[in-house]
A and B are shown apart, each in its own frame.
Chain A
Amino acid sequence: MLKIQRQSPVSFAAEAIRTEEREHWNIVLEYEKEGEGPWLADMSHRPRWDVQDGNMASLSVFGNKVPEKPNSCIYCRGTLINRMNAAQASVWHMDGEPQKPAEKAYTDTADAGVFLALAGKQIFSIAEKLTDLDFLNPRQETPFLVQGPFSHVPCQIVVADRGETGESPFPAEKSGLILLSCSRGYAHDMVHAILDAGEEFGIRAAGEDKILNELRRIFSG
């Protein structure tokens, strides 16, 4: 009998050296020769929900309040909650055991989108080849949500970190972590576009561990 597996829309040419079976997903934890970054990782297996309610202020997401202002985010106990507009938020479970919400306001959207992470040095240089969205606006504090086109495709993007490697406010001297979600059908072309844009910076595929370690480092405080 065929073994039932959940399949990500993303596949990398790189060789996986550590994998893990989880909820019918075969998750790559680490790829061979991940290098020093920048990295692109497939996080499409992470649980995600769309939350809509007329009264978001009263809504509790796994015990956390939804951020008040649109495009602001909070990261708490492994979950990123992104306020999209007056009546909508997205919830991305990043780390630890996921909970399963039963409330009607939640819609499981894990399979609706491809979920990618861009991490490490030069990621903003890669991003500015694909979008005119402003990830380095000094007036916005990380983590924050940006909704707009990335490689011409409507995306939800969370800038989780933009650590500085120099004084410059420009991409060349920034490292960081961007989480990006768009319609699942675009996965193939989106990954191709990012890898192509990142080629000159030496982008490599990374496993889930790399991203989780980055997240733990960023949000350890």
Chain B
Amino acid sequence: MNRLKNLPTLQIDPEKKISLRYKGKSYEGVQGDTIATLLYANGIRVFARSLKYHRPRGLYSLDGECSNTLMEVDGIPNVRCENTPAREGMNVKAQNVLGSADRDFMAFMDKMSRAMPAGFYYKIFHKPASVWPLVIKRIRKAAGLGKMSPDFDMPGAYDEIYPRADVCVVGGGPAGMCAALAAAEQGLRVILLEARPRLGGSYDYRCTQYHSVSGDRNMPLCQRARELAEQVEAHPCIRVFAHTFLTGVYGGHVLTAFQQGGEADHFTQRYVEIRTESMVAATGCTERPLLFENNEKPGVMQPGCAHRLARTWGLLPGKTAVFSIGHDAGIEAAIDLSDLGMEIPCVADVREDGQDPLLLAELEKRQIPFYRGWAALCAEGGKNLKKVCLSTLNGKHQKNFACDILAAAAGLSPLTGPLTLAGAGLKYDSHSGFFLPEDMPENIHAAGHLLGYEYPPAIESSGTLAGLWAAADCGVSVQNAVREISEEMAALPGPLRGSKFVCGPVSGKKTFICFDEDCTLKNTDQAMAEGFDVPELIKRFTSAGTGPGQGGIPGHNLPLYVALSQASPDSSPRPTTTRSPLTPPYLATYAGSSHDMSKRTPVHDFQAASGGRMERVGVWNRARRFSQNQSPKNKSDDATARREIENVRNNVGMLDASTLGKFRIFGQDALKALQRVYVSDMSRVSEGRMKYSAMCNEDGCVIDDGVVTKCGENDYYLTTSTGRAGMTAEWFRFHSRYEKWDYHIVNLTDAYGVINLAGPSARRVLEKITDADVSHGAFPFSAYREFSVQNVIPVRAMRLGFVGELSYEFHVPSSFMPSLWQILEEAGKEFGIQNFGLEAQSTMRMEKGHVILGSESEQRTTLHDIGLGFLWHRGKPEAKTVGASALAHTEKQKGRLKLVGFKTENPADGVPKDGAPIADDRIRGYVCTCRYSYSLKVTIGMALVEDELAAENTRLGIYTNDGFAGEAMPDSGEYMKYARVVPMPFYDPEGKRMKM
């Protein structure tokens, strides 16, 4: 197709050719083409097939308001080809077709529309329910949009950006540009978002003369657009995001959008999240679809689409275009396209009067017949348009016109999405026929065409005024300027009377109110006949407006049509709800650059190099276990960590416990704070000794445990579990918020690395690296010591016994941790030192009967339930200890889950999984942790069970579906394994080994 040349509005470079592939052939276009315009230039008229009926669909809006031109591009489904720039080598495919878009073997579905009334899937397949799963598969196969493989690797680069602004203007048309300039002139930071690739809005493609208020500036609108755009782009305080689509407005101060990347950009699409003080919506209007039979046939398009196709891309949409419009811009488009070479047999206007007389004179000059009070009734043809039937609004007179294009719109529709997302309510305005915002939230403003202004100076002044109001939101004094502009606006024409017409006398069978969902007027009537009386419910029942266009096509017409159709004295149309995203981005754009922020301990790399299987545990990466064999040929891996366990039990092992929470708490009231949150009497914490205690919440449920020691006068060092470390400081502060205590808490979790050295040879390893006396007498169980290693590394050492062996925890500054790790490895070589990971630790501490909160507890587990009631010091006043009152109340409460130890009856049954239910005729509890004990040669575990099952030797049935042996349950593939409640600890019950 030949392109129009030398138009001042063109946004293409005819010299730069680009080509893409479609249907196995190469199609050539030019720089500046979208995928849709490139294909259109090559004669492609059918882009896709519709959702249910597989009706052919063509170019309609050019702004992506419907799914008509969603196609698969380079494997990515549902790409909006109308506003996606064409790139060299793209591979484009039609979607939802069996065959091709032109010849779709599923097109017979269009004949079956009678079988698919509104809500048919709710009613027809409701009973029997067993039919539904079968039918749903068939429906989904026959209907839908693009398809994507679950393991599809999304091409492209996806980024994110979080810019800040004082004022954010949405819409880069004349009102938006004036608003941005007005705010920026006050020295504010202004961000301007424009969905199209360049600024200009409704001026950008029009050559109608612009006359300034003073009358001294006259030029074509497109030239005025460039003039304003140059001012905006040159203004240092305005940052323009072009080709950027608003998706959401949150609380008025956070706007989300996505930007389509250009050739020079580092991203394909990027997520944009803007924080701003004030927002101006200057989003303008779209054309409201005219409803008639076959109103979505290829060849039917919005007048603005036909106009922009010619003016922006140099493509005449066809040879002969009939116009059926309800707004002056439609007449303007007809005149301009006539001048550009199209045959215009007539212009039909649904309005009886109110047209701009100058435009009517121009039509007359070109001998284009003008029909007042007429509208399109039916479009006819096969896949492409052949003729259109026009009719008077009452249907009494009709005329047919042969044409290949029908430019049709019932009027205008304001793009109020950003305002409603910001919280503005919409009310129908009978003058403009628009849903206009009322009760605008603070710091939110609207301007321009969307308020009904059509006279260019009025549009610009309303933008300037909104920009000034936004500046005022930022604390700038603008009263004088506001007064001046308000006076200027008062002298200008206000919002014009708009068309409210929706459709003529049509049957509605193929009159589509929503293209995306193949929803017709008849479907809407059916929904109303079912009793759905408000547009929001009709939208749900018919699915009109729930497609990818997000209500762009039916959003205005549906409420108008419903109001007109109902015999109710309250005929005021009520809009449906707008939701984000206003325009859907790729999910990959939401994912952004995907930085998974997690923490590593100071010896992460050492452990990984030693075969550590690193796993995410909360925010940390930790070694679950160490592969037994690092040979490339034989990477055997024992999930039970048997070798690590046996080494700790027999020799010595080394665990990285750096993730433990670590805190310094100091100040003259530090002890009061400790007394408040710990259940024990913390006044007994002394220098050189560790005290183990726990924290409960107000319900007496245990939330944390750890050790505390005293490092000096009113100065304590404490540890918490890994999971609670991030909350501990706030927990202290929260529970002393009404006290005027003088204490301070510092989170040292990352400041210290921790090595747990455990096993019968641990002391001998320690003796090799320090001159300090670490004998049992000098450093007994539960003691705390400080010494140095090689007179350099300061060590805080604790003698504890979590895994049930002679064991030390060394807390060292994190930067020294790698050195100490290596020193211990070297010193421990002769004693067979090896790393052990979380799996080995978990098994060994379970053998010892030690709990891990979160494994052996849940949200409702109290201190008493897990056998830690001895920690609670009753001598403290109850009101002074968090959870004490609840502990007293629940101590002897019946019906609680209690922690018990168990041993399975038959080791050959295998090991029940953690979390397996304990059941008889009902669920009575669950397994917390269960492992095969290599130390004891039995399968043991801990479980939370109903208190009546907690007695020793009670038989517990463990439900399992893991395929291991057990007693099979009748008529199922499931099994029961059985265990007996036994006392804990299982291993070294007298604690001799850890106190050796």
Chain A residues with CB under 8 Å of chain B are 1-2, 4-9, 24-25, 44-45, 50, 52-54, 87-88, 104-105, 107-113, 128-132, 134, 136-138, 151-153, 166-171, 173, 183-190, 192-193, 196-197, 199-200
Contact = CB atoms under 8 A, between A and B. Distances in A.
Interface in B726-763: 742, 744, 746-752
Interface residues of B, number: 53
A44 B602 CA distance: 13
Given A107-B664, A111-B750, A134-B275, 18 more contacts: A7-B816, A54-B742, A87-B744, A104-B712, A107-B746, A111-B752, A113-B750, A128-B163, A129-B161, A129-B593, A138-B189, A167-B236, A170-B163, A173-B236, A184-B751, A184-B814, A188-B604, A189-B600
A151 B266 CA distance: 19
Contacts, number: 143
- Residue of A104, A131, A136, A138 with most partner-chain B CB within 10 A: A104
A2 B826 contact: yes
A2 B751 contact: no
B715 A151 contact: no
Contacts of B684: none
A1 to B, nearest CB: 7
Given A9-B602, A109-B751, A190 B597 contact: yes
A112 B596 contact: no
15 contacts: A2-B826, A4-B792, A88-B744, A104-B715, A107-B664, A112-B749, A132-B273, A152-B597, A168-B237, A171-B163, A183-B749, A184-B814, A185-B750, A186-B599, A196-B593
A2 B823 contact: yes
Nearest to B669: A54
Contacts of B815: 6-8, 25, 44-45, 110-111
B790 A4 contact: yes
B876 interface: no
Interface in B274-300: 275
Contacts of B666: 104
Interface of B: 159-164, 189, 236-237, 239, 266, 273, 275, 593, 595-602, 604, 619-620, 664, 666-667, 712, 715, 742, 744, 746-752, 789-790, 792-793, 813-819, 822-823, 826
B819 A7 contact: yes
Contacts of A167: 236
Contacts of B620: 185
Contacts of B159: 129
Contacts of B744: 52-53, 87-88, 105
Contacts of A168: 236-237, 239
B948 to A, nearest CB: 45
B597 A193 contact: yes
Contacts of A129: 159-162, 593
Nearest to B746: A107
Nearest to A168: B236
A111 B752 CA distance: 7
A111 B273 contact: no
Given A184-B814, A185-B601, A186-B597, A200 B750 contact: no
Chain B interface main SS type: mixed
- Residue of B596, B599, B742, B816 with most partner-chain A CB within 10 A: B599
A193 B752 CA distance: 24
- Residue of A4, A153, A197 with most partner-chain B CB within 10 A: A4
Contact of A152 (B164, B266, B595, B742): B595
A79 B956 CA distance: 65
A202 to B, nearest CB: 12
B790 A1 contact: yes
A132 B164 contact: yes
Nearest to A153: B597
Contacts of B161: 128-129
Contacts of A152: 595, 597
Q: Which 8 A-B pairs have the closest CB atoms?
A: A185-B599, A52-B744, A112-B751, A132-B162, A6-B815, A167-B236, A184-B750, A200-B266
Contacts of A50: 746
B747 A196 contact: no
A152 B273 CA distance: 14
A54 B740 CA distance: 10
Contacts of B189: 136, 138, 169-170
A45 B822 CA distance: 21
Contact of B598 (A4, A171, A184, A189): A189
B236 A166 contact: yes
A152 B742 CA distance: 32
Contacts of B752: 111
A130 B793 CA distance: 36
A138 B748 CA distance: 35
A174 to B, nearest CB: 12
A134 B747 contact: no
Nearest to A131: B162
Contact of A7 (B163, B602, B619): B602
Contacts of B273: 132
Contacts of A136: 164, 189
Contacts of B619: 185
Contacts of B164: 128, 132, 134, 136-137
A215 B712 CA distance: 38
A178 B239 CA distance: 23
Nearest to A167: B236
Contact of A196 (B237, B595, B715, B822): B595
